[in-house]
Amino acid sequence: MKRARRCSRANAYGVARFAASLLVSLAISFSFVFAALQANTATSAQAQREIDALIAGLGASGCRFERNGSWYDAATAEAHLRKKYEYLRKRDMADTAELFIERAASRSSMSGQAYRVSCGKDAPVESATWFERKLVEIRRAAGR
């Protein structure tokens, strides 16, 4: 009888130690996951600011925007790209400014035809080139 009590106490002690170590492991894992989520949130906020600045930069540029063979003013182009960005953002497909340029601001998703931007009397350039240059300016102004 005494031996049975000792065994059950030993088993209870072992189970308690196991449960405690499991809880510590879970707490550590949770803290790593939480830290990773916070890092992604910060990156997403930065990317969103850059993407908003890219789109607003086109809207304020006075440049013309060619889409599927037709030229549009900057305000119309800005509205179009905001819609495309919202579509991609809802699907987590524009996590960085570079992905936004590649997936939304470079070419028509319908025809596959490259977009172009023409500013003043300058020759038209592919919009990907225009947005990449603009992104460099934005980052330089932000000290990155």
pLDDT computed for residue 14 by the predictor: 65
Alpha helices for the chain (secondary structure H): 2-61, 74-90, 97-100, 127-141
The rounded average pLDDT for each run of 10 residues, N- to C-terminus, in the chain (144 residues) is 58 63 51 43 79 98 98 99 97 96 98 98 98 98 90
Q: What residues have CB less than 8 Å from 127, skipping those under 6 apart?
A: 65, 105, 106, 114, 115, 116, 117
pLDDT at 128: 99
Calpha distance 102→131 (Å, rounded): 10
Q: How far is Cα 28 from Cα 119, in angstroms, rounded to an integer?
A: 54
Instruction: Look at residue 53 in the predicted model and tell me its pLDDT.
Output: 98
Enter the pTM of the model.
0.70
Give the residues across from 72 on adjacent strands.
65
pLDDT at residue 144, rounded to an integer: 79
Q: What is the CA radius of gyration of the chain?
A: 27
Domain residue ranges in the chain: 42-141
Q: Of 138, 63, 143, whose CA–CA distance to 100 is shortest?
A: 138
